[in-house]
Structure 1
Amino acid sequence: MNYFELFGITPDYSLDLASISQTYRELQMQFHPDKFATASESDKLAAMQKASQINDAFQTLKSPLRRAEYLLSLAGVDLQHEQQTLRDPAFLMQQMEWREQLEEIAQSADPDSEIAAFEKLLKTHQETLQQQLISELAAHSYNDAALLVRKLKFMFKLQQELELLEESLLE
């Protein structure tokens, strides 16, 4: 059973996260190992496996990046273990510029405002890529969607690096 079936929803990138959270709680209550404390060992094991599957499904579905990778895997495109590099020269140049910008923030006289501006810039680009991803997935253009997921991976990683920089500057 795939994660979308487990949660009783149609496979789609755009999801109602509140609804998924509610279904997650219901499924967890139904299959929580404590409810099987007096059951046979095989039933306990089955409940534990089901609870684990529910947790994995929820973590995947609530994360935009993991959800996109999962949708692509359902379509036969597995990005989890690939080593393919991004071959988009314009995006590669943009990556270099963003990396330079990130380095300059640490040396800035006013890092707080630069962090906020850079964060806003990254969010805008992430939202644009996610909208394009929605279109490509809807059109079943899985290779184009995979390219967008690779770009989003970079964007989310850069966002994390920005957060780490912000934390280090606060110390």
Structure 2
Amino acid sequence: MAGEDYFELFGLPRQYSLDHSSLESTWRLLAAKVHPDRYVNSQPAEKRVVMQWASTINEAYRVLKSPLIRAQYLCELAGCDLQTESNTRMDAGFLMRQIHWREQLDDARDANSLVMMAQIEADIVAAQSMYTQKMAVLIDEQRDYEQAAAQVREWMFIDKLTREVQSVRHELSDRQS
């Protein structure tokens, strides 16, 4: 199960762009087949196997559903080392944009402004959409996994920033309640 190709498991082509409704319906079908209630009277060994399959199916669904994690997974399947721990080199323009967003985040927090937070969130959503489009081209069309890996590393920084922005937004919402 550890070596299972998640795309193969779900009967989907191994590509970045995917049919979300097929992913969803296949997940429901697979999850129903290995639901613990169906194996109440089974032997313990069979129950363990079913639980392992259920875990694999749920992990596959989580990976394939997330645009960022799906891109990481495809790069890894292609044998591309993402070097997330050792390679932190980033494009200068990207670094400047990161600094700008962090300054905006600090300003919004200091001003206690949900309006400013909404603008930051909109900018980040637009950036994430751009990365989604880039991945479709780099992975599905060009098969350029090295460049895709570089873009994934940038996207991971944006994903972390997204979580920070959400945390600050909740903090500001709580202050204003």
- Whether TM-score is above 0.5 comes out as yes
Q: Which range moves more in the overlay, 46-55 or 130-139?
A: 130-139
- Counterparts of 1:151 and 1:85 in 2: how far apart (Å)? 9
- 1:34 is aligned to 37
Query: What TM-score, normalized to structure 1?
Result: 0.92
**2:15 aligned with 1:12, yes or no?**
yes
- Counterparts of 2:89 and 2:155 in 1: how far apart (Å)? 11
- 1:62 is aligned to 65
- 1:134 is aligned to 136
Gaps of at least 5 residues in structure 2 are none
For residue 81 of structure 1, report the CA deviation from its aligned partner.
5.8
Name the aligned partner's letter for residue 123 of structure 1: V
Q: Percent identity?
A: 39
Number of aligned residue pairs: 170
Deviations 1:83-129 (A, max 9, x none): 321332221122111111111111226x1211111111111111112
Change (3 A) 1:35 1:81: farther
For residue 30 of structure 1, report the CA deviation from its aligned partner.
0.6
Q: Is the 8 A contact 1:129 1:152 kept in 2?
A: yes
Query: What TM-score, normalized to structure 2?
Result: 0.89
For residue 33 of structure 1, report the CA deviation from its aligned partner.
2.3
Gaps of at least 5 residues in structure 1 are none
Higher relative contact order (CA 8 A, sep 6+): 2
Name the aligned partner's letter for residue 34 of structure 1: D
**2:49 aligned with 1:49, yes or no?**
no
Q: Is the 8 A contact 1:69 1:78 kept in 2?
A: no
Q: Is the 8 A contact 2:90 2:154 kept in 1?
A: no
Q: Which range moves more in the overlay, 86-95 or 46-55?
A: 86-95
For residue 52 of structure 1, report the CA deviation from its aligned partner.
0.6
Matches within 5 A, 1:1-171: 1-79=4-82, 82-108=85-111, 111-138=113-140, 139-171=142-174
For residue 80 of structure 1, report the CA deviation from its aligned partner.
7.7
Q: Which range moves more in the overlay, 130-139 or 66-75?
A: 130-139
